[in-house]
Chain A
C-alpha cells in the first residue's frame, strides 16, 4: 500500500506542476514524461528481464513513423494513428526478438544494434516516403484529441500525463503479476527458472514485445505531441538514451525511468549551456554509473527502502 500511495502522489505532483511551472518548463516536463514512458518500456526488458538491448531506437522510430506516416500520407486522425504507432512498436520488437533472442549477452546486444542501424539506414534510404533526414511535420489532423489541439500547452501536458499515468499503472500491474515475477526469475537465474517449467524464449519474447509496445506508444505520443517526425529518432542515440535514463534512475524499479529521464534531461540542458561538448557529460555519467552504481539511484535507495517496486 505504501508503494501505491507513493506512485499516486507522484502522479498528483506531476499534475500540479503544470500550474506551477513557467511555460518553457511545462513543455520540458511533457517531453520528459513521454521519454519516461519509452524508458519504462526499456526497463521492462533490461531492468526486470535482464535483456540489454541496443536496438530500442528501432521500436521508438516504429512508433513515430507508425503514427506519423498514416497522418502525413493518408490524413488519418489521432486515434487510429496512435494505435498504429503503438502496434508498430510491439510488432517490430516481436520480430526482432524472434531472431535476436536466439542469441544472448553480447551477441544479443550486437544483433539488436544491427537491426536498429539497418532500420535507421532504411529510413534514410526510402527518403522519398519518410522524408529522410529532414523528416516532416506532423499534420494537424493527427494532433486533435477529444476536440483539443495538441499544439496547445495544456492539452499537450495533460495528454502526456495521461499517457504516462497509463504506462505507470500497467507497469505496476505487470511487476506484481505472475509474468512479471517470472521475468525477474529469468534475469536472476535462467537455468533455475527453466527447471521450474518456464520457457525462457517465450518469457523474454513477451518482455521484449511489451517493451516495444511502450516504445511505440512513446514514439507515437512524441510525434503527436511535439509535431515532428524525423530520422534522428531512429539513430543510435535513441537506443542509448533509454538505457542511460534507466541506469541513472534505477534499473528494475518502476519510477526509476522517470527520475533518470528528468535528471538526465536537465543535466544535459545545463551542460549544453556551458559547453558545446555536453555529450561528454553523458559519457562520464555512463562510465561512473556502470562502475559505481549499476543499480542506479533508485536501486541504491531500494537497499534502504526495500518495498520500492
Chain B
C-alpha cells in the first residue's frame, strides 16, 4: 500500500482507538475531578465490562445484535454496581485520602483481576460483532463496525456532556467537585454523590469495553493498557477537565495509532509514559486543567 493510504488507515485505526480511549478516560477523569482520587482499578472495571459482555452474549439467545445490545445495557450496570460497593466498603472508610486510595485500589485491581481469572479463565475469547458490514474505500476495505464504535462513543460522550452541564445530577456533581464542604452545607449528600460518581466512572469504562470487545478479545488482563492510556490522557489533558480529556484522547489515540503502525507499539508507549511524567513535573495542570 502506498504511503498516503497507509497513513489514512493508521489515522482511522487511531480514531477508533481514540474514541474508545476518550470514553474510558472520561470515567477516570470524572472520578478524579469530583472525588480527587486516583482509581488504579479503573482498567479492571474496563476488563469486567468486556468479560460481562461475553457472559451476556453467551446467555442471550438469538442473533448477535440482540446479545450485543443486551450486553451494552447490562454490563455497565453490573460493573457500576460493583464499583459502588467498592466505594462504600473501602474508599469511604479511608476518607478518600489520596495516597491510601491508590494503595486500596491497587488491592482492588488484584482482587477483580483474579476473580475474573477464576470465573472466566485465562483464555482470550471473542465476542461477535452485532453486524458484519464492510465499507469499501478505493485503497482498502474497512470494518463498518469500527466506524460505529466511533459514532457510539461520540454519542455517549455527548450524552455525558449534556448530563454534566444541563441536568441537576450534573450540577450536583460539579458543585461537589468545586467545593465539597460547601456542597455538604447545602444539603448535598456527598457520600452518595461520590458513590454515584465512582459507579458512573466505572460504567463509562465498561461501555467502552463492550464497544471494543468485538474488535479485541476479552481477556482477564486486558485492563492494563487502557489503564495506562487513560492515565496518560487524563494527566496530559488536565485532571478534572472533561474537555481536556477529550482533546488529549484524540491527540494521543491518533499519535499512538500512527507511531504503532510506523514504528512499534512499545516505542509509542515509552514516549507516552515519559510525556506524562514530564507534563506532571513541568506543567501539572496539563493542557486544559486549572492550575492546582
Contact = CB atoms under 8 A, between A and B. Distances in A.
A–B contact (CB under 8 angstroms): yes
Interface of A: 52, 54, 99-100, 102-103, 105-107, 109-111, 114-115, 117-118, 121-122, 124-125, 240, 243, 247, 275-280, 282-287, 289-291, 294
Interface size range of chain B in the complex:
35 or more
B277 A111 contact: yes
B108 interface: yes
Contacts of B11: none
B284 A107 contact: yes
A109 B99 contact: yes
A277 B113 CA distance: 9
Given A110-B276, A243-B103, A103 B114 contact: no
Nearest to B271: A118
B59 to A, nearest CB: 23
Q: Is the interface of B mostly helix, strand, loop or mixed?
A: helix
Among A100, A105, A118, chain B packs the most CB atoms within 10 A around the CB of A118
B90 A52 contact: no
Contact of B107 (A100, A106, A278, A282): A282
B270 A279 contact: no
Contact of B102 (A106, A121, A276, A282): A106
Among A243, A287, A294, chain B packs the most CB atoms within 10 A around the CB of A287
Given A102-B281, A283-B108, A118 B115 contact: no
A46 B44 CA distance: 26
A178 B247 CA distance: 49
A262 B270 CA distance: 34
Interface string B262-287: 00101101100110111011101000
B104 A111 contact: no
A100 B281 contact: yes
Q: Is the interface of A mostly helix, strand, loop or mixed?
A: helix
A290 B276 CA distance: 27
B118 to A, nearest CB: 5
B273 A277 contact: no
Contacts of B106: 240, 283, 286
Interface of B: 38, 90, 93-94, 98-100, 102-104, 106-115, 117-118, 228, 231, 235, 264, 266-267, 269-270, 273-274, 276-278, 280-282, 284
Contacts of B276: 110-111, 114
A285 B104 CA distance: 9
Contacts of B98: 105-106
B107 A290 contact: yes
B266 A280 contact: no
B110 A279 contact: yes
10 contacts: A52-B102, A99-B281, A100-B277, A105-B99, A107-B284, A109-B102, A118-B273, A286-B103, A287-B111, A289-B103
A277 B266 contact: no
A247 B106 CA distance: 13
B277 to A, nearest CB: 4
Contacts of B90: 287, 291
A111 B282 CA distance: 11
Contacts of A240: 106
Nearest to A112: B277
A277 B107 contact: no
Given A99-B277, A286-B107, A291-B90, A106 B228 contact: no
Contact of A111 (B100, B108, B110, B280): B280
Contact of B273 (A99, A106, A121): A121
Contact of B266 (A121, A243, A276, A284): A121
A110 B115 contact: no
B103 A290 contact: yes
A105 B36 CA distance: 12
Contacts of B94: 290-291
